[in-house]
């Protein structure tokens, strides 16, 4: 059990709240754990990150990318590291409860848990708090009145047009208000050679997909592939209205899920870290997935930080590779299947 989930269960285990299960429970940003097994019949889990969603499904839990129901007896939530997202989650969780229902939220202190608890204590009349394993947990009951500030929290995290990127995005989406420098370098390498069936692996809010449609008129089909539901929703908005190209939006974990391809080109700026630490295995998984998804003589265009050792993985999977662009920070590699 993660430290955050341990903290989340603390008020139920100490007797500060009646033990679960007792009524229907919704769990926002849910993560799979054996501790949830007793709640299977009453628990609804919301998780928009595909790998975590798949883990919930594998555990036999009722998992959904978005929960629209209300009237729950309990609302649990793990606190996002993005303040605007965390407060919007808090407002949504409160709205999902029946009057008198209990909301419990937990998060790492160094990732915003303390700050969100402090903000919640200002917004709601009675908030109880505790700490465990460097995490903060707080809980409250829904009253008859809804604090007006909750509407502001929801609005602050909603999709909006961001002038700096001339696109629709929202807090919490990777690079939500700026164009990633690696992706910008990769965009400069896109040209009319890219034709036929194309995929953008790890598409985010759709920047590279948008650039593909601008720079590569020979694309017949474009698959926009992204594991984060919020980012994919932004991409849908940013690529709307293109009727000349068949565009499919795929909520998919590229690293492990089958079912993609076959493509003539795969374009990717793969994720390269979990938390604060570099994890080249994520990029290597994207490289292997790109090779599996490519038709014979198909090509991959990949951008990566220069220090990441992807060349051996590319050599093991592809027939040939070459560096087509580089800066002191990034490199773009083209590989032939």
Domain covering 3-156 in this structure, CATH number: 3.40.50.150
Q: In which band, very low, low, confident or very high, does the pLDDT at 187 lie, cut at 50, 70 and 90?
A: very high
Q: What is the pLDDT of residue 20?
A: 87
Q: What is the pLDDT of residue 243?
A: 84
Average the pLDDT over 235-259 and give the result: 94
For the chain, the domains span 3-156, 160-336
Q: Across the chain, what does the average pLDDT equal?
A: 95
In eight-state DSSP terms, residue 178 is: S
Q: What is the pTM of this model?
A: 0.94
Rounded to whole angstroms, the maximal C-alpha distance in the chain is 66
Q: What is the pLDDT of residue 154?
A: 98
pLDDT, one tens digit per residue, over 299-324 is 999 999 999 999 999 999 999 999 99
- Distance separating alpha carbons of residues 286 and 271, to the nearest angstrom: 9
Radius of gyration of the chain (CA): 22
- Distance separating alpha carbons of residues 168 and 209, to the nearest angstrom: 14
pLDDT, one tens digit per residue, over 105-143 is 999 998 989 999 999 999 998 999 999 889 999 999 999
Q: What is the pLDDT of residue 279?
A: 74
Model confidence at 212: pLDDT above 80 = yes
- Distance separating alpha carbons of residues 302 and 323, to the nearest angstrom: 10
- Distance separating alpha carbons of residues 7 and 48, to the nearest angstrom: 22
Average the pLDDT over 172-177 and give the result: 94
Task: Give me 250's structure tokens.
Answer: 């795929």
For 156, other C-beta atoms within 10 Å of its C-beta total 16
**What's domain 160-336's superfamily in CATH?**
Vaccinia Virus protein VP39 (3.40.50.150)
Q: Which residues contact 240 (CB under 8 A, 6 or more apart)?
A: none
pLDDT, one tens digit per residue, over 38-92 is 999 999 999 999 999 999 999 999 999 999 999 999 999 999 999 999 999 999 9
% of the chain residues with pLDDT over 70: 98
Q: What is the pLDDT of residue 261?
A: 83
- Confirm whether 3-156 and 160-336 share one CATH topology: yes
DSSP string, 95-148: HHEEEEEEEEEEEEGGGTHHHHHHHHHHHSS--EEEEETTEEEEEEE--SS--T
Q: In which band, very low, low, confident or very high, does the pLDDT at 271 lie, cut at 50, 70 and 90?
A: confident
Q: In which band, very low, low, confident or very high, does the pLDDT at 273 lie, cut at 50, 70 and 90?
A: low
Instruction: Compute the half-sphere exposure of residue 60: CA atoms within 13 Å on the CB side of its CA.
Output: 9
- Distance separating alpha carbons of residues 255 and 260, to the nearest angstrom: 11
- Distance separating alpha carbons of residues 316 and 312, to the nearest angstrom: 6
């Amino acid at each position: 059990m993660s430290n955050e989930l341990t903290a989340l269960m603390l008020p139920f285990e100490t007797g500060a709240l009646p033990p679960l299960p007792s009524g229907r429970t919704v769990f926002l940003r849910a993560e799979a754990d054996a501790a949830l097994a007793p709640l299977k019949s009453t628990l609804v889990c919301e998780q928009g990150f595909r790998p975590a969603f798949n883990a919930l499904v594998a555990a036999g839990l009722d998992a959904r990318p978005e929960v629209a129901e209300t009237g729950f007896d309990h609302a649990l939530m793990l606190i996002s590291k993005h303040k605007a997202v965390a407060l919007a989650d808090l407002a949504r969780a409160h709205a999902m409860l029946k009057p008198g229902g209990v909301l419990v939220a937990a998060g790492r202190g160094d990732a915003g848990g303390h700050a969100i608890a402090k903000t919640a204590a200002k917004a709601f009349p009675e908030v109880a708090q505790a700490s465990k394993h460097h995490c903060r947990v707080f809980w409250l009951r829904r009253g008859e009145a809804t604090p007006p500030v909750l509407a502001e929290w929801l609005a602050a995290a909603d999709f909006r047009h961001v002038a700096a990127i001339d696109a629709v995005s929202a807090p919490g989406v990777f690079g939500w208000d700026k164009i990633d420098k690696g992706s910008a370098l990769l965009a400069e390498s896109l040209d009319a050679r890219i034709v036929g069936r194309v995929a953008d692996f790890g598409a985010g809010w759709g920047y590279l997909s948008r650039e593909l449609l601008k720079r590569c008129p020979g694309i017949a089909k474009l698959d926009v592939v992204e594991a984060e539901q919020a980012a994919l929703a932004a991409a849908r908005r940013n690529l709307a209205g293109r009727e000349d190209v068949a565009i499919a939006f795929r909520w998919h974990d590229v690293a492990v899920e089958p079912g993609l391809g076959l493509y003539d080109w795969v374009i990717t700026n793969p994720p390269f870290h979990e938390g604060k630490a570099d994890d080249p295995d994520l990029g290597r998984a994207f490289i292997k997935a790109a090779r599996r998804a490519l038709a014979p003589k198909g090509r991959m265009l990949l951008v990566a930080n220069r220090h990441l050792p992807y060349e051996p993985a590319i050599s093991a999977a592809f027939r040939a590779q070459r560096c087509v662009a580089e800066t002191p920070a990034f490199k773009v590699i083209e590989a032939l299947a």
